[in-house]
Amino acid sequence: MVSYFFIVYLNMRNWILLCGLLSTQANAQEQERFISKPIRQTQTIECADHDPERHELKHALHIADSLGISTKYKHQNKAILKFSWPLKWVNQTPGNSFYSLSNYFENDPTGLVRDYNCGKRSYNGHKGTDIYPWPGWWLSMDNQEVDVVAAAGGRIITKLDGNYDRNCTMGNQNWNAIYLEHPGGGVTWYGHLKKSSLTGKGLGDSISEGEFLGKVGSSGRSTGPHLHFEVYESGIVIDPYAGACNSGMASRWKNQHSYYNQALIRSFCTSGEPIFPPCPQQENLKKDSIYAQGDSIYLTNYYRDLKNGDTTILLLRNPMGVIIDSLFTIHNISPDVFYDAGGWLWKRKLGPTASDGIYAFESKYRGNTLISRFIYAIPTSINAQEKRNTSVVYELDFLKVRGFSEFEYPTIFDLTGRQIKVTTEWEGEYWKIGRLPFSGVYLLYLKGKKAFLISKK
């Protein structure tokens, strides 16, 4: 049975939604108002050379030929195969993106490290593209937030499963993986998958572009959850990226990302600094919190390919939409040139005279904006008369809220301040509110008067 129950009444003179008051003024007094610093998960995602898996590929192709799986594929149209992105965001919590890239294909045959752009975003002998969830790769893996999907249509020629998937070092462990053969004879690998997460399809079955293959994991010779994506043409491993140090090769991507694929991925307030424990422990991003008077507010942004000298503008708008404070931040991460996955944290205490309402905190980076809303609530007492006349009950798949007028329009927020879309209807004596989407605690706000914390079980 789904149920809702009234927890606490919040006088609207004493609850407020804030995410920090920031200032652009540079004098010493203003600088004491906040603390700003970079954050970065210390471990780097890598995987070992895959010569044993390439031997497995030859074996798989031999079996596929023997079973007649590959024959017609190899004689089909041999036009250049173009790939879509091999990851898909399933649990789309508010944000712009969900991944970063740790290693490109390594192109130098002399023992030096050189990626397609003549940079060093790889390591010697690496013949694939390593992509991982961010922020929090173990958290993302455990919550199964990222699907590995087929970059192009094809057929399964190898399916490896049942191997340990929380590796932190490059031992000799076997991985969980799927190999696809595509029309024209090209092959793609999808390696380091989570154990028991692979598609139910088997050897020889057809797979469409974008179809689910498995979940990101850390099986095999791996230092953390990621996808190792590897491409073959005519039996030769190739770099799918086109660039100055992969000359003569057209891009195999339908939409090739920039070398530095810069983005602000997530933005939210937290109850403290995020915790990135040793591998393979799950990260704690501390993003669920309600703030009370005297609390420190931690503003946390997560970036992909954040470069030294990049800038972020922070804006705080009051309930009327008016900008009441701002901060211009220059990201100094020297001597590093960039963070493939990093973040920035601001710590701030609120003043005692902040006005009531729902505030919007905006982060602007490279022409894009993320908006987050956050709750600052102080429970207060409730007199007996108000308690008798006010009720929030569950009836026939909806909330019935009594004790308010039709002009006190209800809105629902989760505990990160994100408004939840529900149906609302005034029934003459009470507000009728449609079913909430998931179990947990919500904030029910009736404009101009009161707010409730309500719980759905």
CB distance 426 to 400 below 8 Å: no
Cis before 86 (ω within 30): no
- Whether residues 143 and 190 fall in one domain: yes
pLDDT for residue 338: 94
CB distance 302 to 333 below 8 Å: no
User: Tokens 């594929």 identify what position?
Assistant: 73
- Whether residues 355 and 447 fall in one domain: no
- Whether residues 120 and 166 fall in one domain: yes
pLDDT for residue 137: 92
pLDDT for residue 219: 95
pLDDT for residue 27: 34
How is residue 298 written in tokens?
Answer: 């931690």
Segments forming the whole domain that contains residue 272: 28-39+262-373
23 in any annotated domain:
no
Separation of CA 312 from chain center: 19
Which neighbouring-strand residues pair with 338?
Answer: 307
The domain boundary residue, chosen from 338, 373, 408? 373
The domain boundary residue, chosen from 206, 238, 270? 238
316 in any annotated domain:
yes
pLDDT for residue 389: 53
- Whether residues 426 and 385 fall in one domain: yes
Give the integer Cα–Cα distance in Å for 133 and 218. Answer: 12
Measured CA angle at 155 (ends 193, 72), to 5 deg: 155
307 in any annotated domain:
yes
245 in any annotated domain:
no
257 in any annotated domain:
no
**Whole-model pTM?**
0.78
pLDDT for residue 385: 41
Give the integer Cα–Cα distance in Å for 307 and 337. Answer: 6
How is residue 128 written in tokens?
Answer: 């694939």
21 in any annotated domain:
no
The domain boundary residue, chosen from 342, 373, 404? 373
- Whether residues 207 and 291 fall in one domain: no
- Whether residues 392 and 367 fall in one domain: no
- Whether residues 395 and 291 fall in one domain: no
pLDDT for residue 60: 60
Which neighbouring-strand residues pair with 233?
Answer: 236
Give the integer Cα–Cα distance in Å for 93 and 105. Answer: 30
Instruction: Spell out the per-residue pLDDT of the chain, length 457, in tens.
Output: 333 333 333 333 232 232 333 333 333 333 446 678 898 876 777 776 666 666 566 556 555 565 566 655 565 666 789 999 999 999 777 788 999 999 999 999 888 999 999 999 999 989 999 999 999 999 999 999 999 999 999 999 999 999 999 999 888 789 999 999 999 889 999 999 999 999 999 999 999 999 999 999 999 999 999 999 999 998 899 999 999 999 888 999 999 999 999 999 999 888 889 999 999 999 999 886 667 666 778 889 999 999 999 999 998 777 678 787 788 999 999 999 999 999 999 887 766 766 655 677 889 999 999 987 776 654 444 343 444 455 667 666 787 877 777 877 788 877 666 778 888 888 888 888 887 777 766 777 766 555 666 666 5
- Whether residues 361 and 389 fall in one domain: no
Q: Count of H helices and E strands in the chain?
A: 5, 28
- Whether residues 74 and 158 fall in one domain: yes
The single-letter DSSP state of residue 138 is: H
Over the range 186-209, which residues count as b (16 or more CB within 10 Å of their CB) and which as e? bbbbbbbbbbebbbebeeeeebee
CB distance 377 to 10 below 8 Å: yes
243 in any annotated domain:
no
Which CATH number does the domain housing residue 281 bear?
Answer: 2.60.40
User: Tokens 């079980």 identify what position?
Assistant: 457
Give the integer Cα–Cα distance in Å for 244 and 214. Answer: 33
Cβ atoms < 10 Å from Cβ of 330 = 10
- Whether residues 93 and 112 fall in one domain: yes
Give the integer Cα–Cα distance in Å for 226 and 382. Answer: 51
Q: What are phi and psi of 26, to 5 degrees?
A: -105, 0
Give the integer Cα–Cα distance in Å for 341 and 283. Answer: 14
- Whether residues 80 and 188 fall in one domain: yes
pLDDT for residue 405: 79
Beta strand 323-330 pairing with 311-317: antiparallel
The torsion angle over the Cα atoms of residues 56, 200, 133 and 282, rounded to 10 degrees, is -100
Question: How many structural domains comprise the chain?
Answer: 3
Give the integer Cα–Cα distance in Å for 151 and 253. Answer: 9
415 in any annotated domain:
yes
CB distance 140 to 225 below 8 Å: yes
pLDDT for residue 70: 60
- Whether residues 233 and 183 fall in one domain: yes
